[in-house]
Amino acid sequence: MTGADAAPADRDPGLQPERTRLAWRRTTLSGTVVAVLAGKTALHDGATTVSVLAAALCCALWLAFLRIAHGRITTLAAAHRPRDLTPRHAAAAALCTLALAVCGAFLVR
Amino acid sequence: MIGFVRSVRLWFVPGEVRREGTTPDYRFSLANERTFLAWLRTALALIGGGFAVDQFLPDLSRGWRVGLALALLAAGVLCALRAVNHWARCERAMRRGEDLPVSRFPALLSLVVAVVAVVMVVVVLVGWEG
């Protein structure tokens, strides 16, 4: 039962990696809502070339965000002491959000 | 402006951050990451709000509808940019053992959200159809 003895000392009392993982999930979910609203906007106002392109781009951006989030979640789960988020990943996640808003500007007409 | 360019460099050159100071307790870094994600969600909520204004206020005149929607989308863009900038600055401050950066942004954002909300209430109640 050495594992049981060692576990309390090793355990992260705040469950920080778990909470961070869930935060990534929540954020992906928010992105999903935005992508669905973008699709609705594109279809509602009569699909033009621009609106279809913008909506497709929104879906692609959502997929990109999903990929970033999944990569990060995998990293968090893999290590006992998870590595920090890299600035590149943070910037990529923020740029996906930004690009969603830019697509939105083309959809809102 | 130079400070801003340096910050942008910081986002894309991971080694730059890691070279400075000492690595903080990973739990603090993860807390910083969650704060960053919370700001991204705020940005996404603002963007979603922009779509919602466009979709769910069809009786509004076009100018108001598009204007409000674009204002919310722009707020979302600012919020996302600020999220990553603040994350990088906090990360650097933690490595250097400095105080965390202070910011006027939360106050500004709440003012903008309050103004947009009041404008929306007035516009919907009065029903300006242009």
Q: In the predicted model, what is the mean pLDDT of chain B? A: 86
Q: What span, in angstroms and rounded, lies between the C-alpha atoms of A101 and B72?
A: 9
Is pLDDT larger for residue A94 or for residue A48? A94
Q: What is the pLDDT of residues B97-114, one digit of tens each?
A: 888 888 899 999 999 999
Q: Is residue B67 situated within a structural domain?
A: yes
Tokens standing for B60?
A: 């509004």
**Number of domains composing chain B:** 1
CA–CA separation, A33 and A39 (whole Å)? 10
Residue B72 lies inside a defined structural domain of this protein? yes
CA distance, residue A34 to nearest chain B CA (Å): 5
* pLDDT reading at A9 higher than 80: no
Stated pTM of the model:
0.86
pLDDT recorded at residue A7: 44
Which residues in B have their CB inside 8 Å of a CB on A? Answer: 10-14, 17, 23, 26-27, 29-31, 33-34, 36-38, 40-41, 43-45, 47-48, 50-52, 54-55, 66, 69-70, 73-74, 76-77, 80-81, 83-84, 87-88, 91
Q: Which of A20, A97, A109 sits opposite B80 (nearest CB)?
A: A97
Task: Kindly state the tokens that stand for A39.
Answer: 């699709």
Question: Is B12 close to A87, i.e. CB distance below 8 A?
Answer: yes
Whole-number pLDDT of residue B1: 56
**In this predicted structure, which of A24-33, A99-108, B23-32, B56-65 has the lowest mean pLDDT?**
B56-65
- Residue whose C-alpha is closest to residue B65's, from B120, B121, B109, B126: B120
Residue B18: pLDDT band with limits 50, 70, 90: low
The rounded distance, in Å, linking the Cα atoms of A104 and A84 is 31
Residue B4 domain-assigned (yes or no): no
Residue span of the structural domain in which B41 resides: 27-123
Q: Which of B129, B78, B68 is nearest to B106 (CA)?
A: B78
Residues A79, A10: contact at Cβ < 8 Å? no
* Chain A / chain B CB contacts < 8 angstroms: 130
DSSP type of residue B32? H
> Nearest chain B Cα to A16, which residue?
B27
Most confident range (mean pLDDT) of A2-16, A23-37, A42-56, B20-34 is: A23-37
pLDDT for B129 equals: 55
When comparing pLDDT for B74 and B11, which is higher? Answer: B74
Q: What is the pLDDT of residue B26?
A: 85
| Residue B34 maps to a domain | yes
| Average pLDDT score over residue span B63-73 | 90
Residue B49 lies in a domain: yes
CB contacts of B34 in chain A (<8 Å) are 19-20, 23
Q: Does the pLDDT of residue A4 top 90, yes or no?
A: no
Give the separation between CA A86 and CA B63, rounded to whole angstroms.
Answer: 41
Q: Is the CB of residue B87 less than 8 Å from the CB of residue B33?
A: yes
Query: Residue B55 has which token pair?
Result: 């979709």
Q: Which phi and psi angles does B94 have, rounded to 5°?
A: -65, -40
In a domain, B47, yes or no: yes
The alpha-carbon gap from B126 to the nearest alpha carbon of chain A, in Å, equals 22
Q: What is the pLDDT of residues A34-92, one digit of tens each?
A: 999 999 988 887 778 888 999 999 999 999 999 999 999 999 888 777 888 888 899 99
- Rounded to 10 deg, the angle between the B2-12 and A87-107 helix axes is 110
Selecting from A12, A17, A98 the residue whose C-beta is nearest the C-beta of B81 gives A98
- Closest CA in chain B for residue A101: B73
pLDDT band for position B2 (cuts 50, 70, 90): low
DSSP codes joined into one string, A20-89: HHHHHHHHHHHHHHHHHHHHHHHHHT---HHHHHHHHHHHHHHHHHHHHHHHHHHHHHH-SSPPPPPHHH
**Per-residue pLDDT, A2:** 43
Q: State the burial class of residue A79 (Cβ atoms within 10 Å of its Cβ: 0-12, 13-18, 19+).
A: exposed
Q: What is the pLDDT of residue A87?
A: 87
CB contact under 8 A, A94 and B83: yes
Output the pLDDT for position A81.
Answer: 78
